[in-house]
């Protein structure tokens, strides 16, 4: 008789303990989606560490321990997200007060600019966001996107050109964005 089949052993563990684990996580989560996520993570851990899962009744206890840690990690992550959201709201409030109501192009027509941006492809939006919002240079973007710096430069140029055309077609004054924006919209660049 050869070594035990890992897939078969996992299926036996899953079948034997799924109902108990589902009840365990459902009683400790706020939604069916959270329960499903915790259960999936618990059994994913069991699969990855199948050799560590004890035999028989002790397997259920081991799975409870894993589920307990998965749920604790989820609560910690949720706490971090909530704290981050509170901190970001506070920072945005400070920025708005510090600017003293100074107007910028986005405040003149936030809907038009946002609509023009959203009409771009997801790839163009991501590329422009990496440059403008994240402040990444071409080499850093190349690393993030998994391509060459030359490809980034070309894609960025094309994305800027498409954005300028979208802004122009929305009737927004491109001169306020500089002569390059006007040239991009006209296709001169």
Residue position matching structure tokens 């899962």: 53
As a residue count, the chain comes to 189
Residue 161 or residue 133, greater confidence: 161
Could you tell me which residue, 155 or 169, shows the higher pLDDT? 155
Cβ neighbourhood burial of 71 (10 Å; 0-12, 13-18, 19+):
buried
Per-residue model confidence (pLDDT) at position 146? 87
Q: What is the pLDDT of residue 90?
A: 78
For 134-144, how does the pLDDT look when each residue is reduced to its tens digit (9 = 90+)? 788 898 888 88
Domains and their CATH numbers in the chain: 6-96 (1.10.1740.10), 105-186 (1.10.10.10)
CA–CA distance, 96 with 98 (Å, rounded to integer): 6
Query: Structure pTM?
Result: 0.50
Q: What is the pLDDT of residues 40-97, one digit of tens each?
A: 999 999 999 999 999 988 999 999 999 999 999 998 988 888 888 888 777 777 766 7
Q: What is the pLDDT of residue 135?
A: 81
Report whether pLDDT(102) > 70: no
Note the helical H segments in 32-56.
32-48
Measure the CA–CA gap between 127 and 156, rounded to whole angstroms.
Answer: 7
pLDDT band (50, 70, 90) for residue 189: low
Collect all residues with Cβ–Cβ distance below 8 Å to 70 and sequence separation of at least 6: 38, 41, 42, 45
Which tokens belong to 167?
Answer: 């802004």
Convert the pLDDT of each residue in 42-53 to its tens digit.
999 999 999 999
């Amino acid at each position: 008789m050869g070594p035990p089949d890992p897939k078969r052993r996992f299926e036996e563990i899953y079948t034997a303990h799924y109902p108990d684990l589902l009840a365990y996580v459902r009683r400790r989560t706020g939604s069916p989606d959270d329960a499903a996520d915790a259960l999936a993570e618990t059994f994913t851990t069991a699969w990855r560490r199948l050799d560590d899962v004890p035999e028989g009744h002790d397997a259920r206890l081991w799975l409870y321990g894993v589920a307990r840690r998965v749920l604790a990690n989820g609560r910690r992550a949720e706490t971090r997200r909530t704290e981050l959201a509170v901190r970001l709201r506070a920072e945005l409030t400070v920025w708005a007060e510090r600017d003293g109501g100074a107007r910028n192009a986005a405040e003149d027509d936030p809907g038009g600019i946002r609509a023009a941006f959203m009409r771009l492809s997801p790839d163009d939006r991501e590329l422009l966001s990496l440059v403008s919002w994240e402040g990444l240079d071409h080499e850093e973007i190349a690393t993030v996107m998994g391509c060459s710096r030359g490809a980034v430069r070309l894609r960025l140029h094309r994305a800027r050109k498409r954005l300028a055309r979208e802004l122009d077609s929305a009737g927004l004054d491109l001169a306020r964005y500089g002569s390059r924006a006007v040239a991009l919209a006209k296709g001169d660049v």
